[in-house]
Homo-oligomer: A and B are copies of this chain.
């Protein structure tokens, strides 16, 4: 039957609502740092700017707040999430549980590692071009593809959300090069172990990897708290100094 084959294409023609598209736009803006953490997204201004009604915009806001990119305060509005050290710690704990769990369960060489391998070469390319943003993206994509080896749609979506939130966190790193560069090599080593079917070994590497990254970020947060970023000073509280 040809109908069975066509059924697979069905997802392609799933049209999207305006709210979804608005959410996609805002999501990109937030992740790229166009709206820094702490920014308030007023319904009126954003709505008129994008040419959508408040109703539609509010639906988009709801979506993003469920993704933890925005936080909602009743009668005050939507704000771009300001991550804390606790968030970093929690996010990395989750990553260790999920990523290491997936990788550890690998006991024989997986059938298709092309997608994982592609992210490693992407990282190498970005490194050659000295494109640090691209390097960071390739890095995150590596982990996304790692988790995708489990073949679990829900785990994929979970990870996708975690990594989106992590992008927000990375903004505290003043020097993206120093942060992302060392991990490119370690990605390759993990990939090699997986190629050999050594899941537990790869998981052990990955766990160290994640602990190192967490430590770096926690340190960056501590330093940031001592000397907040000069530009915005979006943080609430003491202005002693």
Contacts and interface: CB of A to CB of B under 8 A. Distances in A.
Contacts of A102: 97
A175 interface: no
A59 interface: yes
A137 B206 CA distance: 36
Contacts of A14: 74
A220 interface: no
Contact of A93 (B16, B58, B59, B150): B150
Contacts of A19: 62
Nearest to A14: B74
A90 B148 CA distance: 12
Interface residues of A, number: 31
Interface in A51-77: 55, 58-59, 62-63, 66, 74
Nearest to A98: B97
A232 interface: no
Nearest to A17: B74
Contact of A15 (B74, B98, B101): B74
Contacts of A90: 152-155
A158 interface: yes
A100 interface: yes
B63 A155 contact: no
B93 A97 contact: no
Interface in A36-94: 55, 58-59, 62-63, 66, 74, 90-91, 93-94
A63 to B, nearest CB: 7
Given A55-B55, A59-B62, A97-B102, 8 more contacts: A19-B62, A58-B59, A62-B63, A90-B152, A90-B153, A93-B152, A97-B155, A158-B158
